[in-house]
C-alpha cells in the first residue's frame, strides 16, 4: 500500500518537541517494533506521522489501521478531537485545535464559547490567547505553544506593551481651566485630560 502524507492532516497535529521525538525514537528502537498502528484514511496518514518516519528510517516493523470518514473535513475534525484528548498539550495548542475544530464544524465564524468548551479552558483564556496571537509576536506565540509561558502572563506582556505610551506635556491650552493638565498620547490613543492638585 502506498502511504501518502497530506499537509492539512499533518499540520493539525501539534509537532513533538525535539526531546519528545528523541524519546519516541528511543522507545521504538528499544522495542524493535511499533505497538500502535499508523492510522490511515484512503492511504493518507491520519495519526502516527512521527512513528511512521522513525520506523521507516530504522526499518522497524509497523502496521496500519484503516479509518473511514465521509469526507476530508470529517477526517480533520476527527484529528482535532483525537489530539484534544491528549494530556500533554499546552492551553495554547488546545485553543488552536479547538478553534480549528469549531471552524470546520461551523464553516463560518469561530465562536469563543465553543472554542473554550472544546479546549477545556475559560472564555477569558481564549480571548487572551487570541489577543496574543493577533499581536504578531512570533517568539511569544512559540513560547505559548511549548508551554514555556502561561497565556495570562503572555497577555500581560502584550497588554503592557500596548499600554506603554509616551506622553507629551503640551501645557494648558487657551481657555483651559486652572488645575487641568493636557497630555497628548503619541501611541494614537485619545487625548486625555488629567486633573492635578
Q: At 47, which CATH number?
A: 3.90.1530
Judgement on whether residues 4 and 68 belong to the same structural domain of the protein: yes
Largest CA distance in the chain: 85
Q: How many domains does one find in the chain?
A: 3
Judgement on whether residues 175 and 104 belong to the same structural domain of the protein: no
What is residue 47's predicted lDDT score, i.e. its pLDDT? 93
Integer Cα distance of 107 and 181 in angstroms: 51
For 96-128, the pLDDT digits (tens) are: 888 888 888 775 465 677 788 888 888 889 888
Judgement on whether residues 34 and 77 belong to the same structural domain of the protein: yes
Judgement on whether residues 31 and 41 belong to the same structural domain of the protein: yes
What is the residue-averaged pLDDT of the chain? 78
Q: Phi-psi region for residue 170, left (φ > 0), alpha (ψ -120 to 50) or beta? A: alpha
What is residue 161's predicted lDDT score, i.e. its pLDDT? 61
Domain that holds residue 138: 89-164
Amino acid at each position: 500500500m502506498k502511504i501518502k502524507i497530506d499537509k492539512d492532516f499533518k499540520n493539525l497535529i501539534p509537532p513533538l518537541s525535539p526531546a519528545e521525538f528523541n524519546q519516541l525514537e528511543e522507545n521504538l528502537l528499544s522495542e524493535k517494533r511499533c505497538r500502535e498502528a499508523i492510522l490511515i484514511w484512503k492511504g493518507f496518514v491520519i495519526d502516527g506521522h512521527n512513528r511512521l518516519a522513525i520506523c521507516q528510517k530504522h526499518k522497524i516493523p509497523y502496521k496500519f489501521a484503516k479509518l473511514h470518514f465521509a469526507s476530508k473535513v470529517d477526517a480533520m475534525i476527527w484529528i482535532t478531537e483525537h489530539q484534544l484528548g491528549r494530556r500533554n498539550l499546552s492551553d495554547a495548542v488546545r485553543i488552536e485545535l479547538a478553534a480549528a475544530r469549531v471552524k470546520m464544524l461551523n464553516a463560518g465564524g469561530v465562536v469563543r464559547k465553543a472554542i473554550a468548551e472544546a479546549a477545556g479552558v475559560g472564555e477569558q483564556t481564549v480571548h487572551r490567547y487570541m489577543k496574543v496571537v493577533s499581536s504578531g509576536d512570533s517568539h511569544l506565540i512559540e513560547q505559548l505553544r511549548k508551554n514555556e509561558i502561561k497565556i495570562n502572563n503572555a497577555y500581560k506582556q502584550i497588554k503592557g506593551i500596548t499600554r506603554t505610551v509616551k506622553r507629551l506635556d503640551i501645557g494648558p491650552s487657551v481657555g483651559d481651566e486652572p488645575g487641568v493638565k493636557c497630555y497628548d498620547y503619541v501611541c494614537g490613543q485619545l487625548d486625555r485630560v488629567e486633573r492635578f492638585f
